Amino acid sequence: MKKILIAAVISLFALSQAEAQVSFRPGLRGGVNFSHFTKGDNETYYDYYTDTYVSSTRDFTSKTDFYLGFYGALKLTKYYTLQPEVDYTRQGSTYRFPGTAEQKLNVSYLSIAVANKFTFNEKFNVHLGPTIDFQVENDFDTDSEVDLAFFLGAGYSFNKNFGLEARVKKGIIPVLDYSDGNHTNVVFSVGATYTFDMK
């Protein structure tokens, strides 16, 4: 009886160790951004053509650009991976104020993120986490050179190397602070991932 108990304990220990094996695999990610700034409140301005005051909202709509980066996937359990990421991400918005021409507002960031990935049936995963984004380029006067954001996304792995993913990221620090309120980043991204094998 004692031998059976010892064998059972050893088997359980070996099984838990196999489940708890930690692995690290680097990878690349890239894709398309659809970004815009959040809308503000109605703003009243004087229209010289009609000689009246008009209440309207600045119109921020989506612009298309790209992101590219790399990550390190630290798989801690069968279901959970901690994934630090560094990305170059081009964002911004299409902008139009009533009575003016449409223009593009471009801003680029070096984004440092920590993704918490939860994997189901070895194919589908859900990931979420924070990012801190540092401006590296812009073509308009911004109110902050740093953005703090949070993202939520989902991915699908076709095999151990190649996958697809989609995310929504929402910034909380205003990029623009106009009289109609604060405008923050919103980004929807779709892209591909490639994870390298580590021998």
User: Which pair of tokens denotes residue 105?
Assistant: 């507002």
Single pTM value for the model: 0.80
Question: What is residue 81's DSSP assignment?
Answer: E
pLDDT of 193 reads 98
Q: Express each pLDDT in 142-154 by its tens digit.
A: 888 999 999 999 9
> What mean pLDDT comes out for the span 158-184?
89
What are the angstrom distances between the C-alpha of 44 and each of 3, 32, 182, 184? 84, 36, 16, 21
pLDDT of 40 reads 65
- Helix (H) or strand (E) holding 5, with range, is helix 2-19
Question: What is residue 31's DSSP assignment?
Answer: E
Q: Express each pLDDT in 176-190 by its tens digit.
A: 876 666 889 999 999
**Contact partners, residue 120, CB within 8 Å, separation at least 6:** 79, 126
Q: In this structure, what are the phi and psi dihedrals at residue 58, rounded to the nearest 5 degrees?
A: -60, 135
Q: Express each pLDDT in 110-146 by its tens digit.
A: 999 999 999 998 899 999 999 999 999 999 888 889 9
Does residue 168 register a pLDDT over 60? yes
d(CA 151, CA 87) in angstroms, rounded, equals 14
Q: Express each pLDDT in 38-71 by its tens digit.
A: 986 545 555 566 666 555 567 789 999 999 999 9
